[in-house]
Amino acid sequence: MSIHLKVEHLSHRYATAWAIHDINFEINTTGIVGLLGSNGAGKSTTMNIICGVLKQTEGDVFINGMNLKEDPLQVKRQIGFLPQTAPLHLESTVEEYLTYAAHLRFIDKMKVKQAVAEAMDKTGVAHFSSRLIRNLSGGYRQRVGIAQAIIHKPSIVVLDEPTNGLDPNQIIEARRLIQRIGQEHIVLLSSHVLTEINLLCRDVIMIENGRIVFTDSMDAFNNYVQPTSLLAVMENPPASAELQAIDGVSKVEFLTAKKCRIYFSNKSNIAETIIAASIARGWRLQEINLERSLLDDVFKELSVQP
């Protein structure tokens, strides 16, 4: 069965203030899509509406062709949600809690045990099935939270800051788990950690001031801000002043004796100009590459859009 999420003209107002306005996007295949935005931008409102936690003021959410507003029970069966604070019952064992979650998801009573076993196996918590959730580490609690989100095999899995509060090793394991889930589901991943979005996501949706300011591939996001510097390695490099005298070069920094960063004000043909100068002047250029913009720079640029 094909998996499809469509958000159409979605808007929501709290009292007199609009939290989001005219949000539109569509996801047609499995994989991980990052949801970015500053605090208060509208990410949580958007996620809560998609998951059926909040009823929108205007617009529609469609999952596999079904309208959430018109058929909420059937659509919610296609959604798995892990909020920022996992909804765990600390005094239950892992197996007890996931059995409870399976019943909440209307899984057939004859299939509950199998569903629980599969969810524990996928998230790597089967060996803790009889342990109280209270006694699990933060990383394993998050795994149990993810298990409850996928136990009913939903089409859409929404994860809000799933690695928040984890140590570096736990983060690595959580990312691997999310990658595996993204092979079978559409995963909508919200995170403030840009590196995490870059490592995990195929596409990015960014919301600022309640409106979408970017929706495209991760590569397009990385290249949204045009590079203004390049790295060059030369066997016989000239003095900084000679490089800076090249038309369009604004600044030169030597990082090592043979490697330098060259800033330029005009991208047009700057690499070709430096290559030609190297050949003519015997600099013996070995490598030259445009530097990709920092993710923080892209985020900042998009955040200040009107």
Q: Using H for helix, E for strand and C for coil, what is the string for 81-126?
A: EECCCCCCCCCCEHHHHHHHHHHHCCCCHHHHHHHHHHHHHHHCCH
Domain 5-222 listed as CATH 3.40.50.300: yes
pLDDT grade for 267, boundaries at 50, 70 and 90: low
State the pLDDT confidence band at 291, using cuts at 50, 70 and 90: confident
> What are the residue boundaries of the structural domains of the chain, listed by start?
5-222, 229-290
What CATH number labels 229-290?
Answer: 3.30.70
Give, as one character, the DSSP assignment of residue 167.
Answer: -
* Dihedrals phi, psi of 71, to nearest 5 degrees: -140, 65
Handedness of CA 233, 236, 242, 246 (dihedral sign): negative
Common-topology check for domains 5-222 and 229-290: no
Query: Is the distance from CB of 20 to CB of 45 less than 8 angstroms?
Result: yes
Q: What is the pTM of this model?
A: 0.79
What is the DSSP secondary structure assignment for residue 65, as one 8-state letter?
A: T
Average pLDDT, the chain: 92
Q: Is the pLDDT of residue 191 over 90?
A: no
The token pair that represents 218 in the structure block: 């991760």
